[in-house]
Structure 1
Amino acid sequence: MSNVLKNSERIAVIDGVRTPFAKQMTTLKNMTSLDLAQTIVNELTSRHYGIEKYIEQLVYGQVILNPSIPNIAREVILGTRLKSQIDAYSISKACVSSLQATINICGAIKSGTIKSGIAGGGDSASNIPFMSPDQFGQWLLNISKTKSFLKKIKLLSKFKLKYFIPRTLSPSEYTTGLFMGQIAEQMAQKYGISRAEQDEFAMKSHINASQAEIEKVMRQHISIFFLEPYDNYITTDNNIRHDNEITKYGSIKPAFVQNIGTVTAGNSSVMTDGAAAILLMSEKKALELELEPLGYIRAYNNTAISVEEDMLMGPSFSIPRLLEQERMSFSDIDLFDFHEAFAAQTLSNITALNSRNFLEKNNLYNKIGSIDLHKVNPLGGSIAYGHPFAATGIRLILQNLIQLKKTNKNLGIIASCAAGGLGCSMLLEVNSE
């Protein structure tokens, strides 16, 4: 599915903010997904005095779902400074959840339903719900529905100790049963991505992110996050490595295929806690309120491919379709920000996008040239920052727009793969028409 937002319908990205990203079970471990969401939306709205009265909708993405909070977006509204009359709903679309939240707000603005809204997303990998076995739930229901005392005694005799054994969300992909790292291994083998190339790419991600942190490139868009009992705070991501030597990456053992595997903890993204949100508005409304946007969302493309192999190759299909609908080539794009689930996945997608044979074989637009690697993830990516599943998409948007402004460039593309063979890409621009 694709959409082009014509110049008169461009969506303005007014502002955006994210929490510092923290490795699982570290500084943000005591913050639930709802805590993170409410805090970051409050931070976003507090930056623009009186903006609350113009917000008409909030869409929030989440991947690690809490059954006790079926609509986290609504709880964000009810737990922040926003009016309770604001419509809000939640979505879950794996690693492109916050991009889809953004697209949904764009669609509502474009249709004229609303003029402004907030898109967000986040997850707490430190607070993963544990569940009882299904049989235990059925046993409890039978107990509660049975009125006869004797029948209750009979049911009690059928209780099994294994009912006490909790289960958590499976990290494997549901349909195939494969771990994402196993899929990355398959792609690395198919597209000829060596261990050395993966380690080099991962190290570059950390080096770029480290330099961006030193230069405070994203400082205005990373919140100062106070931790209970509020006598301490954090302002930086804690996964970025500042002492990078390629030998350190090479010494890490394979994580998914013993001995001969190439995907390691060092060249993969890690489980992370974090949240992000952006304020979106019609270009006309932004002008009316005299707000200067960070940039604009010009077009986007959603795609879905087979999960049997190459499950994380969604960007290789989404980006050519996006360029075709915009009648552009890679040379027109000033900056690319790819989600780095794994170095193998990112490099496989870039290899495919630079392959005319791949594009022709898959009936994709092939008059796009090749990607200049110097334009890819200059501020680092998910391998360095970490990957709070539903927050990463908005991190990509903010990072791309800020770097475009910093370097006086105009056009950027962000792209992300996702479990289930999904992919999303988005064309961003900075200059006003």
Structure 2
Amino acid sequence: MNTSVGNGAATTSGSGVNGRVAIVDGCRTPFQKIGTQFAGLTHLELAEQAVRGVVERNELAAGEATSVVLGSVYVPLAVPYLGRQTAMALGWDGVDGHSAECACATGARTTVDAAYQLLTGEHQVAITGGAESLSQRPLELGDSAREALVGARGDVGALLDVTLRDLLPAPPSVTEPYSGRTLLDHAEEMMVEWGVSRQDADAFATRSHKRAAAAWADGRIEQEIVPVTLADGEVVREDNLVRPDSSPELLARLRAVRPDGLLTAGSASPLTDGASAVLLMSERALERSGRTPLAFLRAWSFTGQDPALGALIGPVFALNEALGRAGLTVAQLDLLDLHEAFSGQVLSNLRAMASEEFAQRHLPGERRLGEVPDAILNVNGGSVALGHPFGATGGRLITQSANELRRRGGRYAAIGICAGGSRGAALVLEAA
């Protein structure tokens, strides 16, 4: 058997010296398309809004939360440690804070980092999540301008040969260093391997928008939103990416990103600004506070796999490991949320989960995860419709899944996230 997967840091699931880790509440800002209403806000300002929101919603006393763990993927040099700087922006000068990175799974990583703090007794109450301002992502100089500036070493005359074209910023890299290819390229490779068509991808993207629109219409998402007031006094209360009128016919008219490709702007998660925050408590602190949690964090896993198996197939490995630690199977889940980097990537993961051959060749235990019923999958839509601020998506998934688990009266929910670097992340939640 070839497992082709490397386990992440050893995980501790279940109870620690302070009992279990409780997900008490969570919230997020509205998610906004890059270059629109949040274009003037930094990721620190967005993070402050989300964290302040969860504090006010839960009437946390000063000093009650003693750890803030937040993450961002595109990190400006001016704000290299988002967790600590968000705490200080809120006036919490004595609060511990740090940042973490795991690409699209960053919000899951910050939550688990804080969970370790609670399980070991280092802290009792923590706030996690993340933020992204892709409108203000750091830009780099092109190679020629960088070489000229470094070579000049203060000699202004040496810069006379630098042209305006040389000074144009280079676009942020969206390639995977180990392959030199974009994640969209890798997603299309997966689609070909697993037999996912352009029509399949468009249909799933439509499903995402329809379900997200329905969740907004009946208030399921609205309850998780912290309104953001802009400098001109405008209050932003809703996501601006969900398209209720989406249909396979409309998406079929879009040009593929690559010539003869399978994915379009309509079947990929859009570049997005936004932030999320999740309130965690140790079970001991929870009992003292008298609060009722949404759920408990039952198990988790962070994995890396051979890119040859699919750079975005990490959720299969991570879910296999996390569910094993929780002593559960897919058949026992009431909800499963798979991050929608691309609609075709989700469909490829679902087919891999159902494949006996893939399990025998690559999964420890050689047992497939199984078919996922449509009724439990991404029931409130996903990143294709709602948007994907890289650092904030994990927090959104945790909050949304925990709230929906309570609303349905279910017992177990799982979250699977693909992450750049050929990684996967998974969390298992248990109803309170």
> Following the alignment from structure 1 to structure 2, what is the Cα–Cα distance between the partners of residues 251 and 140?
46
Spell out, residue by residue over 1:324-366, the C-alpha distance to the aligned partner (whole angstroms, 9 max, x if none).
2222211111100010000111011110011111111003331
Which residue in the other structure is 2:330 paired with? 330
- Shift in Å at residue 54 of structure 1? 1.6
Candidates 118, 121, 131, aligned match of 2:127: 118
Which residue in the other structure is 1:91 paired with? 100
- TM-score w.r.t. the length of structure 2 is 0.92
Which residue in the other structure is 2:398 paired with? 397
> Following the alignment from structure 2 to structure 1, what is the Cα–Cα distance between the partners of residues 100 and 323?
27
Amino acid at match of 2:300: Y
The correspondence of residues 288-307 of structure 1 with structure 2, limited to 5 A, is 288-307=288-307
SS of the residue corresponding to residue 196 of structure 2 reads coil
> Following the alignment from structure 2 to structure 1, what is the Cα–Cα distance between the partners of residues 292 and 99?
28
> Following the alignment from structure 1 to structure 2, what is the Cα–Cα distance between the partners of residues 249 and 160?
41
Structure 2: 5+ residue runs without aligned partners? 1-7
Structure 1 residues 211 and 140: CA distance shift in structure 2, 3 A: same
Q: Is the 8 A contact 2:24 2:295 kept in 1?
A: yes
Q: Is the 8 A contact 1:115 1:282 kept in 2?
A: yes
Mapped pair 1:169 → 2:172: yes
The correspondence of residues 335-346 of structure 1 with structure 2, limited to 5 A, is 335-346=335-346
Structure 1 residues 164 and 334: CA distance shift in structure 2, 3 A: same
- Shift in Å at residue 396 of structure 1? 0.6
Spell out, residue by residue over 1:393-425, the C-alpha distance to the aligned partner (whole angstroms, 9 max, x if none).
111111111111111111000010011101100
> Following the alignment from structure 1 to structure 2, what is the Cα–Cα distance between the partners of residues 422 and 141?
35
Structure 1 residues 382 and 156: CA distance shift in structure 2, 3 A: closer
SS of the residue corresponding to residue 263 of structure 1 reads coil
Spell out, residue by residue over 1:11-48, the C-alpha distance to the aligned partner (whole angstroms, 9 max, x if none).
11111110000111111111111110111111111223
Runs of 4+ displaced beyond 3 Å: 133-144, 152-163
- Shift in Å at residue 78 of structure 1? 1.4
- Shift in Å at residue 137 of structure 1? 5.2
Candidates 62, 70, 74, aligned match of 1:64: 74
Larger Rg computed on CA atoms:
1
Which residue in the other structure is 2:84 paired with? 74
> Following the alignment from structure 1 to structure 2, what is the Cα–Cα distance between the partners of residues 53 and 127?
31
Which residue in the other structure is 1:149 paired with? none
Structure 1 residues 235 and 153: CA distance shift in structure 2, 3 A: closer
Mapped pair 1:104 → 2:113: yes
Which residue in the other structure is 2:5 paired with? none
Structure 1 residues 163 and 197: CA distance shift in structure 2, 3 A: closer
Q: Is the 8 A contact 1:45 1:52 kept in 2?
A: no
Amino acid at match of 1:389: F
- Shift in Å at residue 162 of structure 1? 5.6
Q: Is the 8 A contact 1:72 1:89 kept in 2?
A: yes
Which residue in the other structure is 1:44 paired with? 54
Amino acid at match of 1:363: L
Structure 1 residues 319 and 289: CA distance shift in structure 2, 3 A: same
Which residue in the other structure is 1:6 paired with? 14
The correspondence of residues 236-385 of structure 1 with structure 2, limited to 5 A, is 236-256=238-258, 258-259=259-260, 261-308=261-308, 310-365=310-365, 366=367, 368-385=369-386
SS of the residue corresponding to residue 370 of structure 1 reads coil
Q: Is the 8 A contact 1:122 1:389 kept in 2?
A: yes
The correspondence of residues 147-226 of structure 1 with structure 2, limited to 5 A, is 152=155, 155=158, 163-226=166-229
Q: Is the 8 A contact 1:60 1:119 kept in 2?
A: yes
> Following the alignment from structure 2 to structure 1, what is the Cα–Cα distance between the partners of residues 157 and 322?
62
Structure 1 residues 25 and 327: CA distance shift in structure 2, 3 A: same
Amino acid at match of 2:138: P
Structure 1 residues 356 and 138: CA distance shift in structure 2, 3 A: same
Q: Is the 8 A contact 2:341 2:383 kept in 1?
A: yes
> Following the alignment from structure 2 to structure 1, what is the Cα–Cα distance between the partners of residues 377 and 249?
24
- Shift in Å at residue 270 of structure 1? 0.5
- TM-score w.r.t. the length of structure 1 is 0.92
- Shift in Å at residue 80 of structure 1? 1.0
Q: Is the 8 A contact 1:328 1:368 kept in 2?
A: no
Q: Is the 8 A contact 2:49 2:226 kept in 1?
A: no
Two-structure CA RMSD over aligned residues (Å): 1.9
Structure 1 residues 251 and 155: CA distance shift in structure 2, 3 A: closer
Spell out, residue by residue over 1:71-115, the C-alpha distance to the aligned partner (whole angstroms, 9 max, x if none).
12222111114x201111112221011110001000111111111
